[in-house]
Chains A and B, each alone.
Chain A
Amino acid sequence: NAGVTQTPKFQVLKTGQSMTLQCAQDMNHEYMSWYRQDPGMGLRLIHYSVGAGITDQGEVPNGYNVSRSTTEDFPLRLLSAAPSQTSVYFCASSYSSGTNEKLFFGSGTQLSVL
C-alpha cells in the first residue's frame, strides 16, 4: 500500500512549456485534490475531484487543468508554464468528501519555471 504517489519529485521547465504532474493513490479514495505551497502563503487549493469523471476548481485554478478518468489517478496539467507557477505541488486524497475526513498527502513535486 503505497498511499499517494506523486511524480516527478523535481522538475525544471522553461516559460511556455507544458507538463503533467502525476498523482496516483491505491487506497480506493473517492476524493482527490491538488494544492500548491508557496512561502508565506500556506497551501492553496488548485483543483479537486469528488469521484471519477467529476472535477471542480479550487481557489487558484488558472493555468492548470485536471481530469479524473479513473479512481486512482488525478493528473495536473500545466498548459503553458509561467514563473508564477514555481511552487511545491501536493496531491492529497481522502476516503470520501464527508465531514471529518482526513487528507492523505503525497510527498510533493518541486517545480521551477525559468
Chain B
Amino acid sequence: AQRVTQPEKLLSVFKGAPVELKCNYSYSGSPELFWYVQYSRQRLQLLLRHISRESIKGFTADLNKGETSFHLKKPFAQEEDSAMYYCALRVTGGGNKLTFGTGTQLKVEL
C-alpha cells in the first residue's frame, strides 16, 4: 500500500531563513505528488503539484524518484508562511484519491 511520510510534526525557523519541509513516499506506481497548505482559520488548499514544476509563493518542490522524496523548499521564510503543510500522493486507478502525510506545522518566528 502507498504511504506518505512527513517526519517533522513541527518546524520552527526564523524569518529570512531557508525552509525545507520533508516528504517521502512509497508507491509502486508512477507517483503524482502535491503539497497542500492550511493557513490559520482557512481551508486546506493546493500549494503546488509536481507535474506543473511551478513556484508558488516562493515555494518549490522537486520530485526525486531515486530517493522517493518531494521536499518543499523556500529560500527565505516569511511570517505569512506559518501554516500546516501536507504532502499528498495521488493513487491512480479510479477517482482523485489522495493519500496524505501527517502534516508539518511550520512556524516562522520574527
Contacts and interface: CB of A to CB of B under 8 A. Distances in A.
A105 B100 CA distance: 14
Interface in A32-54: 33, 35, 40-45, 48, 50
Residue with the greatest number of chain A CB neighbours at <10 A, chosen from B51, B52, B94, B96: B96
Contacts of A92: 44
B98 A45 contact: yes
Contacts of A102: 34, 46, 49
B44 A97 contact: no
B97 A40 contact: no
What interface size band does chain B fall in?
A: 20 to 34
B43 interface: yes
Contacts of A104: 45
Contacts of A43: 44, 86, 98, 100
Contact of B96 (A41, A44, A101): A101
A96 interface: yes
Interface residues of A, number: 30
Interface in A15-36: 31, 33, 35
Given A42-B86, A103-B46, A97 B102 contact: no
Rank and list the top 4 A-B pairs by shortest CB-CB distance, nearest first: A42-B100, A102-B46, A43-B100, A105-B44
Interface of B: 4, 6, 9, 32, 34, 36, 43-46, 49, 51-52, 86, 90, 92, 94-103
